[in-house]
Structure 1
């Protein structure tokens, strides 16, 4: 099992969860604007970093 690929998958899942949560908070108008912006930016960073780790890591057996 490749540690980088596993870490990339975890980051991707965290990014997706953060983006979904941010979207729900925006739709319900329950969160403060600055909090939602920060969480959204961090989620996008997690998602993009996770995807790039999974994509660029070579499988070595």
Structure 2
């Protein structure tokens, strides 16, 4: 198994989890208790992990 492809898949899964957690934080909090800083940080990290994982999987050649 190609290590880059595995790492790309792992980054993609972490990005999806981060984006889902961001959505849960955003939807579950009321207007008074919403922690904007946490939503922004988890959202940005989720987007970075997701895009880097997808690009790593796409650019890695499938050599057997």
For the aligned pair, the TM-score class normalised by the smaller chain equals over 0.9
Report how many residues are paired: 61
Is the alpha carbon distance of 1:11 and 1:31 closer, same or farther for their aligned partners in structure 2, counting shifts above 3 Å? farther
Structure 1: state its 5+ residue gaps.
none
Moved over 3 A (4+): none
Equivalent positions of 1:13-28 (< 5 A) are: 13-28=13-28
Kindly report the root-mean-square deviation, in angstroms, between the aligned alpha carbons of the 2 structures.
1.1
Structure 2: state its 5+ residue gaps.
none
Q: Which one has a bigger Cα radius of gyration?
A: 2
TM-score scaled by structure 1?
0.94
TM-score scaled by structure 2?
0.90
Name the CA distance, whole Å, in 2 between partners of 1:35 and 1:21. Answer: 10
